Chain A
């Protein structure tokens, strides 16, 4: 079966649940080179009006990127990937990454992706365009 044959509008991507910890935030800060204090210093985070340290938006983008590349596998390539951060997330709470196919036009597939907090609130929303191999 061709890659295209198995992709249909409405299809859900297998969900990816992450369990971010303060340690992971420090690990990510080092790997990305983003040492903004709101990601590891509770006192600093609260002083700028946050509930405490929060996940890097780009870490959440990394989770959603993984959601997409896990689903896509070697069936094609990523053309665009876009995320908007709508809410903050604190470590110590599960972060659920989900997505679904919103359009299929020949080999071009559009996906909607999002990250949900424990309450089901979409704190990150985004989309991706992929091109399936023929």
Chain B
């Protein structure tokens, strides 16, 4: 078995297994720094969070250390957000994520490894507020 097969098999074994949950408060200063970095001055973000803010809540969990044996770099393939309830400053959000799929594809300059990651976000009342599906690529 080659190293590549081993990495893919190990990652595939994690499909559907939830990682440890991360709980964090939505802080006004954090949201402000986030929208300043984007350059989005909408006063709405003094009370609620902009569409992509939840990615800043948990560390880049998605950069799975063990996948780094494959290829030499990461690329973000895409992100899909689903919003079920507003996320407001002052909320306390818990993020729980898992690997949803892992597969290899032949690229123009070598093989690529795709890791699909899904995260669910709930608030302090236990309401599901958002879902995020991300595609990460090792190349």
Task: Say whether A59 faces chain B, with CB atoms less than 8 Å apart.
Answer: yes
| B40 with A62: CB separation less than 8 A | yes
Q: Which residues from A are CB-within-8-Å of B56?
A: 31-33
Give chain B's interface secondary structure class.
mixed
How far is it, in angstroms, between the C-alpha of A29 and the C-alpha of B139 when the chains are bound? 22
- Identify A81's interface contact among B37, B51, B77, B86, CB under 8 A: B51
How long is the Cα–Cα vector from A27 to B38 in the complex, in angstroms? 9
Q: Are A32 and B73 in contact (CB under 8 A)?
A: no
A35 to B59, CA, bound (A): 10
Number of A-B contacts (CB under 8 A): 104
A34–B77 Cα distance when bound, in Å, is: 15
Q: Are A61 and B73 touching (Cβ within 8 A)?
A: no
Query: What's the minimum C-beta distance from A125 to chain B, rounded to whole angstroms?
Result: 9
Least CB distance from A79 to B in Å reads 6
Min distance, Cβ B35 to any Cβ of chain A, angstroms:
8
Let me know if A82 is at the binding interface, CB within 8 A.
yes
**Are A79 and B82 in contact (CB-based, < 8 A)?**
yes
**A interface residue numbers (CB < 8 A to B):** 18, 24, 27-28, 30-36, 38, 48-50, 56-59, 61-63, 65-66, 68-70, 77-85
11 A-B residue pairs with CB within 8 Å: A32-B55, A32-B56, A32-B60, A48-B73, A57-B79, A58-B79, A62-B50, A65-B50, A66-B39, A80-B82, A81-B81
